[in-house]
Structure 1
Amino acid sequence: MIKIGTSLNKGEKNHLKGRKPCVQQCLEKNNIPCTLGNVPNIAILGSGGGERAMVGMLGSLSKLAELGLLDAALYMSGVSGATWCMASVYEKPNWSSDIKQIKSVVERIGHGSVSLRDQISLLKKYHRTNANFSLTDVWTALVVPMVVKKIDESTLSNYQTGQDPYPIYTIIDQDCKYEGFIHESFFELTPHEAGYTLAGAFVETSSFGSIFNKGVLREKKPEMDMTYLQGVCGSALADKEVILKKLKEWLEIWAEELQSHDGPKILAQMLELNYCILRGEQWTQLVDELNALLTDFSAGDPMEVKSLNFKNTKMPSQIKADKMDKIKNLKQYFPILKSQHAKIAFPKCVTLSWIWGTNYNFLYDMNVPQVHQNLQESETSHFEDAGLLVNSPYMSALRAERGIDLIISLDFSAGDPMQTVTETAKLCKEFDIPFPAINVTKCDSTSPKAFYVFKGLKKAPTVIHMPLFNIENCGSELEHYREKYGTFQLPYKPEMIEDLMEKAGENIINNKENLLREIESIVKQK
């Protein structure tokens, strides 16, 4: 059930075999003749960026479908917000040939809703069924449904992908990132297997999250549902400081809108206390403030509640021992926690947890020399949003076995729109992975064009890079659009979704001929 190596899974190979005739037909309809054996391997990549990325991806895919270009893609891979789009459109097989599925998703996120009661029920379920309950469970239940407007309890391994582009969801191993093992950090999930993209270690997706020891399945655990997968993929949309600041603002606004209890404020205070300790800053005042919030609700609440308690799991290795001791001993600073009657505004399942994305490590104690020893030492691993490392899923497309000829990078990042491609180029040089040279100017970062092409190395794929907001579709309003569609804000209103869809679609419409020209060039090279 565990595969050591980078060869493609049989299920992926079979899917590609069924998809390639669709690609061939698409190209022929666009006057690009090619044989079945000459079909180019094209991957569409969607970057992170919260709901901006989700809606931008929807707008881009919608126009690609309308213009008859979507079926040219063999693969589709996403980070963070782009995975929210992917999870939504892939709910139905053969969606790429049915524009109605994309339109139904747009309608849902614009006008749908998920009740707080249903979110709390999901949170209770996660606490009851997930032995590694963490802040990712809280984030998933209380934030993700607010944006995607659905709780999806299906699983990735049960996806019937039909003849759609093969989907790849990407995250990173938090522990590897903290410890500086960047090559080992990249992780991907497909309908058939989940594992370390570059390190070359995989497990069947249906068994990801189960307990393994020495490569043997010891205890089968339920596979994560699609809502949780979206939660872990989008669990950290920027660095820790930004997450803390924006999430705290979001939760406080949410508490004001609910006008019922201080649960979101308590969660925000927990997060701020956590990161304050990790930064080594003064944190005792935050303890006093959190105690005050807890005391306010110690008299009881109409919702089912329980005593606050701590869940002390393994801290990332870079946290010094004295900070770990402080976290482990925080309970002594909360007098209210010593009472059997301590209450908080959160439902029964909520506990204090200081770790994101805990999952059983399928490589635990395997002792295989081909895989870095650090990946085999711990019983659990911790996963988070891949945007904390590189905000686009290039590494999934650069697995040599996938033989990608052309990458179409749809970039919805905040800040420098060229950062993802330049960072990837640096990593590829370090990892000895073929990738074209990226030559950009300061002007490209501040006032980007809508369409860039990078190529050159013989074994490297051609890379098309398309920033969402650019001087062609935004003109003098470039900064206005960047500010209007932030990564962290409450869910977009229908008119915002419509406007953003239009901007993303303009990029595709205005560059249809450019896309076809580069595709035709790849076919001629093959």
Structure 2
Amino acid sequence: MDVVIRKDLCPHETHFIKERQSKVQDALCRHAIHCPENIVPRVALLGSGGGQRAHTGFLGVMRQLGKEDLLDCMLYVARVSGSTWCMSSLYKDPQWTQNAEEAANEALLSMSEGEGVTFHDGVYWMKQRHEEGYFSLSDVWGVLTCRIKGVSLETRFLMDDKVENGAIPYPLYSAIEKHCFHKEQPPGCCSCLDRLINFKTPRTDFVFEFSPHEVGFLEPEAYVKTSLLKQDFVGGKVKSDQRRKPMDMVQLQGICGCAMGDFDIIIKYMKDTLWDWIHSIILDLESGAYSGKTDIVFILADLMKKYADTEHSLSELERLKCLLGVSYGEFSLSLKGLEQETWRNMIDQERKELVEAISDELIASIDKWGHDHSQFEGTAGDVWWVMRHVMPLFIGWRFGTVANFLYKFRDDAIPKDMIQKKQMHLIDAGLYLNSPYPSALRAARCIDLIISFDFSDGDPFETLKVASQYAVINHLPFPKVDPHLDSKCPKSCYVFEEGGKPTVIHIPLFNMDNCENEETLEMEKKEYTTVQWPYRDKTKIDHLADLAAKNVRMNREIILSEIEKIVQ
């Protein structure tokens, strides 16, 4: 049987803990904290979601933790959403904690100066995934993530993260299963906290965890080897005729790092980013280098950028009609009904919405107007492939599709709705709990101290509150959280401790200590929003990383003091 149901950790993780504890013990000695090997405190470092803000902020945190010689005090590093981007880059070096400052600075510099993944390489990788099957928007988002980060495709396999000798903290990633998460969603609940508090029988069996050795659902406690995640299963056994590669870091980032508020925002952001990338390719091509149906894609990309230029966009719309032929009205009703005078009288927002409608209609009807198009090679061929195979995914919203290893698996511990479909859909856990507390609270890990760096938007204590409710539902120990915390003027550090429960250190990114006053705090939050075009300005990137690093500097002694309390 390839699927296992168990409460304990897999043998590889257990072996890692034994090796890592000696490293932690040595690190604590350097801070004058002495403890026998059998009571080495177990510390989990958590990074929340928050898009590129979380990516940049967590890099600043890692850089400063390295400077303060605190990284080797950590047993685990768990992350969700945007923090996943950060760790996927750092863990390419099996000794990264020894060079944390250099590794973090390199990743920060890539955002402003890195060449990033080329369009051809991105499409080539997506073609491979398409051939494997279960191709979805998460694969596209994984490629776009590498482009945002300014790095080439991170194609190493998750199972290849080198943690066997305990030299670096054990990496944990989080996702949720889309359909289980939305099942029985109570009406009128506007947040995850509402969902947990107001629903009579709230579910948490949708929380999914990735590690280098094992992946699976935390609540039903069902796991498989990481190398088998993408393979087809029946009745708990992997099918023998497999042709899919193990999950790589491009796919993992695509699944774990997509939460930007809600699905409509994600779709719009991804489409805008993809059209922007295609438009940048047009600028590199010689005028008239390609013609025919491929030019239709270039015109749409140009219209997305220049809809406000009335006469230029009108000219492009007329050219679009010509390329589509006399039957263009069958492919796009919005284009058919458009009059020049109407276009001239529109405001910019109306033009933008109409261009988006035209592009969506042409994508939906591409099999009609593009069926006879000959295959191009090179750049035009790549662009056309994206139009045929990627753009239609936005219509059906296929995201995070992987084989369901619980398909037809019979065990009383597994809810029936989790075994009925051949596929499951893994999405960003930040849509439920924007910090990886479930992994840190897994009973078998016996975590003593959780250090949570929170890069979330909105209420800086939302993750604490949801984590507390999650612990209640699953009968897990969690310290009491003050319900009257000042979310408007937060401090840089909060400590929650209670006998017999893990201590939690909560550190919000923007606070009254590193921002110094309420006005500056609000200004920083507006400058670094979750959904915006990628940060490219080095000054802006460095400033955010420095703010996050300052939180570590200011609270170094508190972190060490709490570790010492645990030892005592």
Short-chain TM bin: 0.7 to 0.9
Map residues 22-421 of structure 1 onto 2, 5 A cutoff. Answer: 22-99=23-100, 100-114=102-116, 115-129=118-132, 131-161=133-163, 162=165, 163-180=167-184, 182-218=203-239, 219-220=241-242, 221-247=244-270, 250-251=273-274, 254=277, 257-259=280-282, 298=324, 337-339=367-369, 340-341=371-372, 346-348=383-385, 350-351=388-389, 352-353=392-393, 354=396, 355-421=398-464
C-alpha separation in 1, matches of 2:280 and 2:461: 37
The letter for the 2-side match of 1:173 is E
Cα distance change, pair 386–296 in 1 and its aligned pair in 2 (3 A): farther
Residues 209 and 218, structure 2, Cα contact 8 Å, conserved in 1: yes
Cα distance in 2 for residues equivalent to 1:336 and 1:491: 30
Aligned-residue CA RMSD (Å)? 3.0
- For residue 174 of structure 2, give the secondary structure of its aligned residue in structure 1: strand
Give the distance between the partners of 2:419 and 2:149, measured in 1 at CA: 36
Deviations, residues 497-517 of structure 1 (Å, cap 9, x unaligned):
211111011000011111111
Instruction: Describe the shift of the 1:360–1:113 C-alpha distance in structure 2 as closer, same or farther (beyond 3 A).
Output: same
Shift of 1:441: 2.7
Deviates more, 1:177-186 or 1:192-201: 177-186
Q: Name 2:551's counterpart in structure 1.
A: 507
Indicate the larger mover: 514-523 or 331-340.
Answer: 331-340
- Inter-CA distance 398–262: structure 2 relative to 1 (3 Å threshold): farther
Per-residue CA deviations over 1:42-88 (Å, capped at 9, x if unaligned) read: 00000001111111111111111111111110001000111111111
- CA deviation after TM superposition for structure 1 residue 190, in Å: 0.5
2:511 to 467, 470, 479: 470
> Tell me, what secondary structure is at the counterpart of 1:32?
coil
Q: Secondary structure at the match of 1:137?
A: helix
Distance 1:173 1:375 in 2: 10
Q: CA deviation at 1:253?
A: 5.2
Residue identity opposite 2:151 in structure 1:
K
Count of paired positions:
473
**Structure 1 pair 293–66 and aligned structure 2 pair: CA distance change class (3 A):** farther
Q: Distance in 1 between matches of 2:5 and 2:299?
A: 45
> Is the Cα–Cα contact under 8 Å of residues 113 and 150 in structure 2 kept in the other structure?
no
- The residue identity in structure 1 corresponding to 2:181 is K
Q: Secondary structure at the match of 1:463?
A: strand
Q: Contact (CA 8 Å) 1:158, 1:191: kept in 2 or not?
A: yes
TM (norm. structure 1) is 0.83
Letter in 2 for 1:73: M
Report the counterpart of residue 521 of structure 1 in structure 2: 565
What is the CA distance between 1:119 and its match in structure 2?
A: 2.0
**What corresponds to 2:288 in structure 1?**
none
**What's the % identity of the aligned pairs?**
35
TM-score, normalising length: structure 2: 0.77
Pairwise CA distance, 1:143: 4.0
Work out whether residues 59 and 505 of structure 1, in 8 Å CA contact, stay in contact via their aligned partners in 2. Answer: yes
Q: How far is the alpha carbon of 1:491 from its aligned partner?
A: 2.2
Counterpart secondary structure, 2:205: helix
Give distance in 2, aligned partners of 1:399 and 1:336.
48
SS in 2 for 1:506: helix
Letter paired with 2:13: E
Tell me if the contact between 1:295 and 1:336 (Cα under 8 Å) persists in the aligned partners: no
Question: 1:451 aligned to 463, 476, 493, which one?
Answer: 493
Give me the whole-angstrom Cα distance separating, in 2, the residues matched to 1:463 and 1:250: 37
8 Å Cα contact 2:145/2:253 also seen in 1:
no
**Structure 1 position 148, deviation (Å):** 4.9
User: Structure 2: which amino acid aligns with 1:239?
Assistant: D
Distance 2:526 2:322 in 1: 37
Which amino acid in structure 1 is aligned with residue 130 of structure 2?
H
The whole-number CA distance in structure 1 between the counterparts of 2:12 and 2:281 is 46
Partner of 2:384: helix, strand, or coil?
A: coil
SS in 2 for 1:195: strand
Q: Distance in 2 between matches of 1:296 and 1:53?
A: 46
Which residue is 2:18 aligned to? 17
Compared with structure 1, are the counterparts of its residues 336 and 512 closer, same or farther at alpha carbon in structure 2 (3 Å cutoff)?
closer
Deviation at 1:38, TM superposition (A): 1.1
1:156 and 1:201 map into 2 onto residues whose CA distance is 19
- What SS does the aligned partner of 1:496 have? helix
Q: Which amino acid letter does the alignment assign opposite residue 138 of structure 2?
A: T
CA contact (8 A) 1:211 1:361 kept: yes
Instruction: List alignment gaps of at least 5 residues for structure 2.
Output: 185-201, 284-294, 304-316, 326-330, 332-359, 375-379
Q: 1:404 to 1:256 in 2, by over 3 A?
A: same
Partner of 1:172, secondary structure, is strand
Task: Say if 2:278 and 2:383, in contact at 8 Å, map to a contact too.
Answer: no
Q: Which runs of 5+ in 1 are unaligned?
A: 270-290, 300-306, 308-329
CA distance change for structure 1 residues 471 and 332 in 2, over 3 Å: closer, same or farther? closer
Tell me, in whole angstroms, the C-alpha distance in 1 between the residues paired with 2:504 and 2:76: 14
Question: Are the aligned partners of 1:94 and 1:164 in contact in 2 as well (CA < 8 Å)?
Answer: yes
Shift of 1:206: 0.5
Distance 1:296 1:387 in 2: 45
Contact preservation (8 Å) 1:120, 1:142: no
| Deviation readout 1:17-38 (Å, 9 max, x if unpaired) | 1111111111111111111111
- C-alpha change, 1:21 and 1:410, in structure 2 (3 Å) is same
Using the TM superposition, give the Cα deviation of residue 98 of structure 1 relative to its aligned residue in structure 2, in angstroms. Answer: 2.0
Q: Distance in 2 between matches of 1:250 and 1:168?
A: 28
Q: Mark the structure with the bigger radius of gyration.
A: 2
C-alpha displacement of 1:393: 0.3
Question: For 1:265 and 1:49, how far apart are their aligned partners in 2?
Answer: 33
**Cα separation, 1, equivalents of 2:77 and 2:34:** 23
CA 336–523 in structure 1, closer or farther in 2 if over 3 Å, else same? closer
State whether residues 298 and 341 of structure 1, in contact with CA within 8 Å, keep that contact through their aligned partners in structure 2.
no
- AA paired with 2:235? K
Gap change, CA 1:265 and 1:233, over 3 Å in 2? farther
Q: Structure 1 residues 333-342 or 388-397, which shifts more?
A: 333-342
**Displacement of 1:108 after TM fit?**
2.6
**Aligned counterparts of 2:297 and 2:254: Cα–Cα separation in 1:** 19
Aligned amino acid, residue 5 of structure 2: I
Query: What is the deviation of 1:342?
Result: 6.5
Return the alpha-carbon distance in structure 2 between the equivalents of residues 264 and 513 of structure 1: 56
- Cα distance in 2, alignment partners of residues 332 and 264 from structure 1: 13
* Residues 142/359 of structure 1: CA separation in 2 closer, same or farther (3 Å cut): same
Instruction: Give the secondary-structure state (helix, strand or coil) at the position aligned to 1:446.
Output: coil
Residue 291 of structure 2 corresponds to: none
Give the distance between the partners of 2:555 and 2:228, measured in 1 at CA: 42
